[in-house]
Amino acid sequence: MNYYKYTIFCEENLSEILIALLSEASFDTFEENGNGLCAYLPVGIDEETVAEELLEELQNQFDFTWEKELIEGQNWNVLWESNFHPVVVDKFCAIRADFHDPIQGVEHELIINPKMAFGTGHHETTWMCLHALASLPVAEKDLFDYGCGTGILAIMASKLGAASVEAIDIEEESYLNTLENARINGVENITARKGTLEVVENGPFDGILANINRHIILESLPQLATLCRPGGWLLVSGILIQDESIVLQAAEAAGFQRVAMETRGNWICMHLVRI
């Protein structure tokens, strides 16, 4: 698949805010760098005009500039290999690609080959979800990964002893990448498919992972409540610190109660329980 690459030049502390706001459009993946960030939009999805109108609208609120270029599909592997570096989450786990050397001194090591699917552990939201999984009740539980990306959270949950993991993503590249990464890591109890919450086949679940964005989380909370067993947990991230109260209020209205919260950079990860 070919992509448009939007290179956005801004101050470092603005990158995370722009990612959160732009993730509500059809950008497939984001990549932060020293000069700002890059946002990738699949060619041919009829969302180019909408995405650029959003960029122009945000320029009225924030100080940044942007430029656009076409990246052909055959260049993606080279692009990702040059930008994907191993990630270590304390002594709990490490994430690397298959072209990296093994990482010592961690409990778990995952091999993740991104293939343009979001979720390599580099972003604060994914890092916090992985960190939270270390202390959540996962073993012998039926779990659901909403917006699975590379499958990193589903695979980690499986490694921790989950009985089963159902995973969905609206992007075809993501759910296929989840299946590929599950195979690479020797995981066989993950069922992944393309689609929205309407394609979920199992449930209710003992635990749900939702590392997406504020807009999708707010929209999905009532349905996620029906998919979560009473006493089950919901881990949500992809939320800016400034949106904490909005998400918490909506979660409580849907029947969840906050148990814990972690912050990293400008982002939060919230641990909720279905009451």
- Check whether residue 75 and residue 160 sit in a common domain: no
- Check whether residue 173 and residue 235 sit in a common domain: yes
Average pLDDT of the chain is 90
Please give the residue range of the domain that contains residue 28: 3-80
pTM: predicted TM-score of the whole model, two decimal places = 0.81
Domain stops at, among 23, 58, 80: 80
Per-residue model confidence as pLDDT tens digits over 88-110 = 999 999 999 888 899 999 999 99
208, part of any domain: yes
Task: Please list the alpha-helical segments (H only) found in 188-239.
Answer: 214-227
> What's residue 102's pLDDT?
94
- Check whether residue 63 and residue 172 sit in a common domain: no
- Report DSSP state, residue 102: P
- Check whether residue 69 and residue 127 sit in a common domain: no
- What is the domain count for the chain? 2
256, part of any domain: yes
Per-residue model confidence as pLDDT tens digits over 113-172 = 866 545 555 678 889 999 999 999 999 999 999 999 889 999 999 999 999 999 999 888
Q: Is the pLDDT of residue 82 over 70?
A: no
Cα-based torsion angle of the residue sequence 193, 198, 204, 206 in order, rounded to the nearest 10 degrees: 50
- Check whether residue 144 and residue 239 sit in a common domain: yes
> Percentage of residues in the chain with pLDDT exceeding 90?
63
- Check whether residue 239 and residue 127 sit in a common domain: yes
- Check whether residue 189 and residue 265 sit in a common domain: yes
Q: Is the pLDDT of residue 205 over 70?
A: yes
98, part of any domain: no
Instruction: Give dist(CA 52, CA 203) in Å, integer.
Output: 38
- Check whether residue 56 and residue 166 sit in a common domain: no
Domain stops at, among 63, 80, 97: 80
Domain of 49, CATH number, reads 3.30.70
